[in-house]
Every structure is written in structure tokens, then in C-alpha cells.
Chain A
Amino acid sequence: MGNLGIIFWRELMSYFATPLAYIFIVIFLITNGIFTFELGGFYLRGQADLLPFFSFHPWLYLFMVPAIAMTLWADERKTGTIELLLTLPVKLRDAVLGKFLAAWALTGLALALTFPIWITVNYLGDPDNGVIFAAYLGSWFMAGSYLAIGSCMSASTKNSVIAFILTVSICFLFVLMGSPILLNAFPDFVPQFLVDAISAMGFLTHFDSIAKGVLDIRDILFFAVFIGAWLLASAIVIEMKKAN
């Protein structure tokens, strides 16, 4: 196990050392249930798919994921452990990635624990399980994108509450970018390629098709590149900000 793995495990264990991880998972599951059954009309639709479940994820993540991401680096800076961590023989890359992956694993675990709903839909009908699996994967990658933004925001401040608010704001922007509400609001003189470019950066653009069962590798690639870019930005911000 390299340093990446060691940091990953330390971070993951630290989520479970406090009630944080358990609370996160419980709230995630409850909210998911409410969204799917109450707001999404899971039963009323009479269709054996998980569309109502997945289509709320971009909005659910908007508040859940920043809560996980906010402490990633802000706490290290506040308590001074960043000085300890970065003077150990550890590459910054391993530290950034290890922390990110631990948080991503936690969201993955929370997502995996929604499995009863998958069993339910199989019990009630005959869904396309390939589509559902793809949607899970897409949802997890989208959660990763939120986290990567959160990692960068958390690196920019010592205050985790500020990190939370910044992350929510920026994530909201990226959700909006792909939403028809925003895209239809552009006046006519805005050139179409610009609208398309903005839409191409939006989370919903890529996630909606995944949720509907169209798994295009380009959508997953979008999220992967997005994560990579924000993690790189995190490393740059850490380098710049660690002095103060």
C-alpha cells in the first residue's frame, strides 16, 4: 500500500470515528426515500424503472455532498495538521487524491445502501437492470464532481462553513448550466454555440441522459475530466494558500 492508500484509509476511518458518516448516510437514505416515493411518485407512475429516484440526485447532492467535502482541507488548515501532512514524505498528489477518494468512497457507500429500492423495483416489475446499473455509476461520478469542487473550495479557506457555502453556490451554477430553465432564458442574440457550450458544461446535460438509460461513455468521461480538473485546481490552491 502506497501513501495514497494510507491517506485514503486514514481519511475514511476518520469519517467513521465520529458520527458524521453515519448521520450522512442516514439523512441521505431518508431524503432519497422521501424524494423518490413522495415527490417522484414512484408507485403512481406504474413503471418499473428508477427514474424518479435518480432524477432528484443532482438536487440532493447539492446539499449533501458539500457537507462531506467542506472539511477536506479547511480543517487541515485550521488545526495546522496540513503542516504535518505536507512535511511527511508524501506527494501532494497522493494527499489530494487520497482525501478525495475517501470522501468519494463514502458517497459511494451511501449510494450503494439505497439497494433496497433496486430490489423493490425488481420485485414489482421487470426493469432493465443494465440501465439501472449505468445510472448508479453516472450518479456516483456526478457526486465525485461535486466533491472535487468541494475539495478545491475547502482548500481555499480555513472556515469549513464558508467552504460549504462556496461549494453549494458553484455546484448550483453547474447544475443550472445544464438546466432548461436557464438555457431557455437566454435572449435570442446570444449565439447558439455559446448556449451549447454552457449547456455542455452542465451536470444535468450529462446526467439526465444517463438517468434515462442512455449510457454514453462521453458523459462519464465528462465527469472524469471534470473531477481531474478540479482536483488539479485543489492542488494549486493548496500550494498557494498553505502559507497563511
Chain B
Amino acid sequence: MIEIENLVKKFDQFVAVDNLSFQVAEGEVLGFLGPNGAGKSTTMKVITGFLAPTSGRVSIDGHDITEDAIAAKSLIGYLPEGAPSYGDMTTEEFLRFIAQVRGYRGEEIDRRVQHVIKEVELESVRRQTIETLSKGFKRRVGLAQAIMHDPKVLILDEPTDGLDPNQKHHVRELIKNLARDKIVIISTHILEEVTAVCTRAIIIAEGRIVADGTPAQLESRSRYHQAVSVRLNDSYDLGADLGGIDGIATIEEDAEQALTYTILAKDGQSIFSQVSAIAQEKQWPVTEFHVQRGQLEDVFRTVTQKAKEA
């Protein structure tokens, strides 16, 4: 269990993290979202004990990160932003170093290093110096060191940044596999990642939490929640047919694709069955017809912009 209470981090006058409080329990994969400069990385640096909080407290399984730093840090595996590692070492040397610092001795070092090399598929670059590796491999080396001690808490700052789609998929699968009975916190600004791996998402802006919930809950806050998308193959006046339904807020025409409309629901009411009944009755020239869950991107923009204006 990670407990964060009234966390404040200031740099001189600038308030990077402003009175943040939340808890993360075992089994949760928390997506930490926010625009650049919102305080995501700073929060992670405080949770991992790299930066001392200005005020407030962070505790990892009951160990305070400032008072009981070594015990708390032992529980955490951390991938810092950009996956830094010692470029002049080979993958294997670097991982052996991490294993030693993590307290493994003798044969156990070989076993742990072998395990993580297999886990993130680094066998092919085992004896290469890290500075010669591609971005994707470097990121994987960073992941390998983070999971070296099978940590209870895994904190990953933009783990898939700069990876190609295959690598992204691979890393996400890895995170999902690791997530059981662990606490995982991932910062990202790739929203599809949240729906793909997270069980919960927190959006922060200007150092404060502006939204907190499961990805589905957040999506339901979107104005596109329950909206019906329709694509026609011939022009047709939808508005005339739909006038009778109360739950409809408005009809938007797609600016880029002709004959594509989104019928928005009022306050997230379910309008699909009514709209589909009318569409059948009036025989709309439909080629595509589906209901939206809501757009995380839309929610993200709304809540972060609101925070900026406030």
C-alpha cells in the first residue's frame, strides 16, 4: 500500500506538486496522467525518494520514504524518465551491478540477472555496451533493472515513450503480467495505454488531482459517453427524425469526413436503442453505426484545461 498525504513539492517559488493525497493498493495499476509540466515526474521522484518533499508524507508499506528511506527504497523498482543507465557498461555488467546493490550475492546474482534478461528479452544484447543499444533496448534494460528484485512496488516513468508499436505492446504485456499482487504506477501521456493496462487513472494538472477513477469511469465523464456515431452513404437529414427523443443533446458533423455524424447524449443517457429503432424505421442510408464509450482524450482535455483556467 502506498499512502501519499498532503504532498507538496516546491522549487523556490514554483509549486510543482500542490497538496496531493491518494492511496494505491496491491493489485492496482495506476495510470498517472497529465500534460507536460503537470507534476507527474516530480511526484514520482518524491515517491521513489529521489527528491525530498517540501511537506506532506509518502509511505511505502508503512515505511516513510524520508525517515526510513532504505527500507522503502528496497520495496520499489523504478524506471526513471528516459531510462538512464551507465552507458560504458555492458547490459550484463550493468544488471549484475544492480543485482548486487539490491543485495543479491553469489549464484543468486546470476540467477536474477538471467531471469530478467529472459523476461524482457535482452539475450541478444547481453554483451553489448549500453551506449550502443537502440532506444527500445535501452528502455528494456531500464525495465530489467527495475524488476530485478521482483519489487512490490513498480514505478515507471513513461515506460513506452519512444518505442515502436511492437515494443509498446510487449512492454504493456510485461506490465500486465507483473501487476498481479503488486502496485504499479505508470506515468504516460499516451491515453490508449491507460485503457490497455491500467485499472485506475489519476489525471493531474498544475500539481493537483483533477480526476481519479477507473478508465471506464473517466470515459463516462466525456461528453461523447453514450454518443452514437453514424456514417451514411447518402445525405439525409438526421435532425428531422430525431427531434422526438429527449436524451439527445446535439448532432455533430465530422469536420474531416463527409456524411459522418455523432449524436451526443444528454448527461450520459443511453440513447442507442431509441436511435437504432428510428434508423431502422426510417431506413437511414447507414454504412456504420456504433455507440461510443466516451473519449478519454476529451476528458483529459476538459479537466486539464479547466485546471489551467482556475
Contacts and interface: CB of A to CB of B under 8 A. Distances in A.
Contacts of A84: 78, 80, 84-85, 145
Contact of B73 (A1, A81, A88, A243): A88
Interface string A226-244: 0000000000000100111
B96 to A, nearest CB: 9
Contacts of A124: none
B101 A83 contact: no
A87 B101 contact: no
A17 B51 contact: no
A89 interface: yes
B97 A80 contact: no
A59 to B, nearest CB: 31
A87 B100 CA distance: 15
A89 B102 contact: yes
Contact of A83 (B84, B86, B98): B84
A3 B70 CA distance: 12
B101 A3 contact: yes
Contacts of B82: 80
Nearest to A94: B101
Contacts of B80: 80, 83-84, 87
B88 A14 contact: yes
Contacts of A10: 86, 89, 97
Contacts of A120: none
B74 interface: yes
Contacts of B85: 81, 84
A192 interface: no
B97 A17 contact: no
Contacts of B74: 89
Interface stretch (B42-50, B187-195, B207-215, B262-270): B42-50
A13 B88 CA distance: 10
A7 B100 CA distance: 10
Given A88-B102, A89-B73, A83 B45 contact: yes
A160 to B, nearest CB: 14
Contact of B100 (A6, A14, A17, A91): A6
Interface string B67-109: 0001101101010111011111100010001101111000000
Interface string B34-48: 000000000001001
A112 B97 CA distance: 28
B85 to A, nearest CB: 7
B78 A81 contact: no
Interface residues of A, number: 24
A244 B42 CA distance: 11
Contact of A243 (B51, B86, B88, B98): B51
Contacts of A239: 52
Which residue of B85, B101, B103, B145 has the most chain A CB atoms within 10 A of its CB atom? Answer: B101
Nearest to B94: A10
Contacts of A87: 48-50, 73, 76, 78, 80
A6 B100 CA distance: 7
Nearest to B51: A243
A113 interface: no
B139 to A, nearest CB: 13
Nearest to B105: A1
Contacts of A13: 89, 93
Interface in B180-200: none
A54 B145 CA distance: 46
A182 interface: no
A86 B81 CA distance: 14
A119 to B, nearest CB: 35
A197 interface: no
A81 to B, nearest CB: 5
Interface string B220-244: 0000000000000000000000000
B101 A6 contact: yes
A82 to B, nearest CB: 8
A181 B39 CA distance: 54
Contacts of A88: 73, 98, 101-102
A84 B130 CA distance: 15
A30 interface: no
A184 interface: no
B84 A79 contact: yes
11 contacts: A1-B100, A7-B101, A10-B89, A13-B89, A17-B88, A17-B129, A18-B88, A80-B81, A84-B80, A87-B48, A88-B101
10 closest A-B pairs by beta carbon, nearest first, are A80-B84, A83-B80, A89-B73, A87-B48, A17-B88, A89-B74, A81-B84, A6-B100, A89-B70, A87-B78
Interface of A: 1, 3, 6-7, 10, 13-14, 17-18, 79-81, 83-84, 86-91, 239, 242-244
Given A87-B50, A89-B101, 14 more contacts: A6-B97, A6-B100, A7-B101, A10-B89, A13-B89, A17-B89, A79-B84, A79-B87, A81-B86, A84-B84, A84-B85, A87-B48, A89-B70, A89-B71
